[in-house]
């Protein structure tokens, strides 16, 4: 087998069966963009009323208040089991420590009398989206809010889908209190993105929106880009590719595939190996784990549509497959993972060896687990401090710089047919020449 032309098999609870290689050029389900545009239009037109209607329609929740009080978040934190609170605080500390190392000092460049300072300025206000519904994600609160706080964002607004009883999971509220987020709204889906982008009576608009979600949330962020800032990565349904050789325990490979599959439909779990025996052993383990899993429905929904085992010739071909898929999470469960890393160009995060599962990155490794999906790892990166900032350049120049560089500016402006640009420099040069003549001829 050459390149990515290998055996592609479906892994699910029923075993393995050959299927065609999937088309990876567009992972957005049909009809989603049109539905998202309708939702955004409803929110822009009807504001809070639209959000309440969407809560009834999509979350089966009847809401009186869209906002969750800061006191409720603090109360949830105080009521949390000590072990869970300790784990949240451990994760928060590690995430903050890691992201603090990403803050860029002021960059200064000087040449020929021109000095340029590049300032990293945080946005004034950021919106954070955290999924809900099938599970609570307090870890995502930390992974979005803490990089924003480290960046210096003064105002944060967190949107989380309500549960059917109209509340937000207490552990999610506790995470908000841990991260210092005081503004929480029980609003989910594409409607939450629209509310953050355009504002409603209850939800003030923001300057930037970050956080993962399903295809509707990810497409909604693309639709409002330009009105607000949106990180370039498409943070959609969860994905994992595990590259494994015979050194990898089959049960560990299998459970790590299931880890991402248990998030639910529209994600992807893919095994890549050059050993057919590994594919067979992992497939059997996936079947056994899935059959006994509490979230079996979600796992089967993912694996039945996007669960794959790809058998290739060797490590180089495995890397080709990885680069084509550009997965959110990549696990290199091979004897020498360091040898494969240089071959990987497209992945959100790489986990090396048998003791670094993607779940470590989901909670405690330090970097944000908000990663590019849908092949956007080709150009996008993990959410970080820089996503909440913009660069502002401060430029100064002295007389000598203008004398030295001004003629070239005038020449280029004239070549572009912009006489006022040329005159802007020429007038200054003439003034300086006149001043020089005045000094030499008193």
SS3 125: strand
Task: Report d(CA 144, CA 129) in Å as an integer.
Answer: 8
How many other C-beta atoms lie within 10 A of the C-beta of residue 118?
14
Pairing state between β 208-210 and 125-129: parallel
Cβ contact 193:129 at 8 Å: yes
Cβ contact 159:187 at 8 Å: yes
Q: Distance between alpha carbon 344 and the CA centroid of its chain, in Å?
A: 19
Task: Report d(CA 49, CA 409) in Å as an integer.
Answer: 56
How many other C-beta atoms lie within 10 A of the C-beta of residue 292?
7
Cβ contact 92:85 at 8 Å: no
Residues annotated as catalytic (active site), given as ranges: 328-329
Cβ contact 372:234 at 8 Å: yes
Task: Report d(CA 313, CA 342) in Å as an integer.
Answer: 18
Task: Report d(CA 300, CA 291) in Å as an integer.
Answer: 9
Pairing state between β 389-397 and 114-122: antiparallel
Buried b (16+ CB within 10 A) or exposed e, 123-143: bebbbbbbbbbeebbbbbbbb
């Amino acid at each position: 087998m050459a390149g990515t032309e290998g055996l592609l098999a479906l892994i699910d609870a029923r075993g393995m069966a050959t299927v065609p290689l999937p088309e990876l050029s567009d992972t957005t389900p049909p009809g989603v963009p049109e539905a998202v545009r309708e939702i955004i239009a409803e929110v822009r037109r009807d504001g809070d009323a639209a959000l309440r209607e969407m809560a009834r329609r999509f979350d089966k929740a009847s809401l009186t208040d869209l906002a969750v009080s800061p006191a409720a978040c603090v109360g949830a934190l105080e009521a949390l089991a000590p072990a869970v609170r300790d784990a949240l605080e451990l994760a928060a500390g590690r995430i903050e420590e890691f992201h603090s190392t990403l803050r860029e000092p002021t960059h200064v460049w000087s040449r020929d009398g021109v000095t340029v300072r590049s300032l990293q300025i945080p946005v004034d206000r950021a919106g954070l989206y955290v999924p809900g519904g099938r599970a609570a994600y307090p870890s995502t609160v930390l992974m979005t809010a803490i990089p924003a706080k480290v960046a210096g964002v003064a105002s944060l607004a967190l949107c989380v889908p309500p549960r059917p009883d109209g509340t937000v999971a207490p552990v999610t509220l506790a995470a908000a209190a841990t991260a210092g987020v005081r503004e929480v709204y029980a609003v989910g889906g594409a409607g939450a993105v629209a509310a953050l982008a355009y504002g409603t009576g209850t939800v003030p608009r923001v300057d930037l929106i970050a956080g993962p979600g399903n295809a509707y949330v990810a497409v909604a962020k693309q639709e409002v880009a330009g009105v607000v800032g949106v990180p370039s990565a498409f943070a959609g349904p969860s994905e994992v590719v595990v590259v494994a050789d015979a050194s990898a325990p089959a049960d560990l490979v299998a459970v790590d595939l299931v880890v991402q599959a248990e998030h639910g439909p529209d994600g992807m779990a893919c095994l890549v190996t050059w050993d057919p025996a590994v594919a067979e052993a992992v497939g059997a383990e996936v079947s056994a784990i899935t059959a006994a899993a509490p979230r079996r429905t979600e796992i089967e929904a993912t694996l039945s549509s996007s669960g794959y085992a790809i058998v290739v010739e060797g490590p180089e071909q495995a890397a080709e497959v990885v680069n084509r898929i550009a997965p959110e999470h990549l696990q290199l469960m091979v004897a020498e993972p360091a040898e494969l890393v240089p071959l990987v160009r497209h992945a959100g995060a790489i986990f090396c060896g048998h003791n670094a599962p993607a779940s470590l990155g989901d909670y405690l490794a330090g970097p944000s687990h908000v990663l590019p999906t849908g092949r956007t790892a080709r150009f996008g990166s993990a959410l970080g401090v820089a996503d909440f900032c913009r660069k502002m350049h401060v430029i100064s120049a002295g007389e000598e710089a203008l004398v030295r560089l001004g003629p070239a500016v005038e020449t280029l402006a004239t070549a572009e047919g912009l006489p006022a640009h040329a005159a802007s420099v020429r007038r200054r040069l003439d003034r300086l020449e006149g001043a020089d003549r005045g000094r030499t001829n008193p």
